[in-house]
């Protein structure tokens, strides 16, 4: 994805995206589509007749102890080829967990298969996890036709057994692997706030030279913590972080992830697009 004139600005796919693009195509440079959506609704790929597509993924369990089936990896690779995506964004998380083959609670339709927990969860941040991530990346990239970008997940509590913070872990990963990063600013902001840290101070320690794509979306504050919310507007603090990132990082794409509700108001989405484009213009 060329960025000679600055990073491109795109939308994460939702049910309203095709209609929105019909009316405001000049404001949207590309659409990011989850692999999981394409598996269940292949027709969503029709949007690429109008705009480039970036493939996102939450199925590879890159930081987990259980690898996905080879058929899943082959499917991701197939969609990467079909969409001509410049990269595949995947979470620095686990989404599969082990279970006993004879466990009475196993799903009847999939006896013996690992649990799919339904959400990308941060792993323990240890040297053992680092080794697993490097091995999982190598296995995936041997099959995928496009490079992987790893996305920082939100952390809602300190993961038991961790010996590093998330930023320390990501720095260690960048030191031992040629990896590009997808910096999710909502996740980053949530993690810093939940740990009682200043997001700007943490960002100063982040390996921004590896950031290729950025996600922007909303957050929520309840029960004494910060939470991910793709149906809410990004706080101004997140846009301020974006401005800092763009002064340093070789960002090629900025994706607005307002994709949890098909009723997200179009006028608000227009405002959010313009907010991000204003930050890009100022940084340029």
Q: Dihedral of CA 202/238/187/176: which sign?
A: negative
The pLDDT, as a whole number, for residue 2 is 52
pLDDT at residue number 160: 87
**pLDDT the model gives residue 102:** 47
Residue 148 has a pLDDT of 97
| Per-residue confidence (pLDDT) for residue 276, from 0 to 100 | 95
Block mean pLDDT (10 aa), the chain, length 284: 77 90 93 93 93 95 85 95 97 70 50 56 90 95 96 88 95 97 95 92 97 90 72 87 96 90 79 93 86
Q: What is the pLDDT of residue 83?
A: 97
Beta strands in the chain (DSSP E): 8-12, 30-34, 53-57, 88-91, 94-97, 115-121, 148-151, 180-184, 211-216, 218-222, 225-229, 253-256
Q: All domains of the chain, ordered by start, with CATH? A: 8-283 (3.20.20.150)
Q: What's the pLDDT at 67?
A: 81
> Is 84:105 a contact under the CB 8 Å cutoff?
no
Alpha-carbon gap, residue 17 to 39, rounded angstroms: 18
């Amino acid at each position: 994805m060329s960025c000679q004139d600055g990073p491109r600005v795109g939308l994460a796919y939702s049910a309203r995206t095709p209609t929105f693009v019909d009316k405001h195509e000049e404001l949207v440079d590309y659409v990011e589509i989850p692999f999981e959506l394409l598996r269940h609704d292949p027709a969503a790929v029709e949007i690429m007749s109008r705009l480039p597509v970036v493939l996102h993924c939450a199925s590879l369990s890159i930081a987990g102890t259980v690898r996905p089936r080879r058929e899943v990896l082959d499917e991701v690779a197939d969609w990467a080829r079909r969409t001509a995506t410049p990269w595949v964004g995947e979470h620095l998380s686990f989404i599969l967990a082990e279970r006993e083959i004879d466990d009475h609670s196993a799903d009847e339709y999939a006896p013996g298969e690992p649990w799919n927990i339904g959400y990308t969860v941060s792993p323990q941040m240890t040297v053992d996890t680092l080794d697993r991530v490097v091995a999982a990346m190598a296995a995936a990239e041997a099959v995928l036709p496009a490079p992987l970008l790893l996305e920082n997940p939100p952390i809602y509590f300190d993961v038991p057994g961790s010996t590093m913070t998330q930023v320390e872990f990501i720095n260690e990963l960048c030191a031992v692997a040629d990896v590009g990063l997808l910096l999710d600013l909502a996740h980053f902001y949530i993690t810093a706030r939940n740990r009682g840290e200043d997001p700007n101070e943490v960002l100063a320690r982040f390996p921004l030279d590896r950031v290729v794509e950025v996600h922007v979306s909303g957050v929520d504050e309840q029960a004494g913590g910060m939470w991910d919310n793709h149906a809410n507007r990004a706080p101004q603090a997140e846009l301020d972080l974006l401005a800092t990132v763009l002064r340093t990082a070789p960002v090629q794409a900025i994706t607005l992830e307002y994709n949890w509700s098909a009723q997200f108001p179009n006028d608000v989405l227009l405002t959010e697009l313009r907010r991000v484009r204003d930050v890009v213009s100022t940084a340029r």
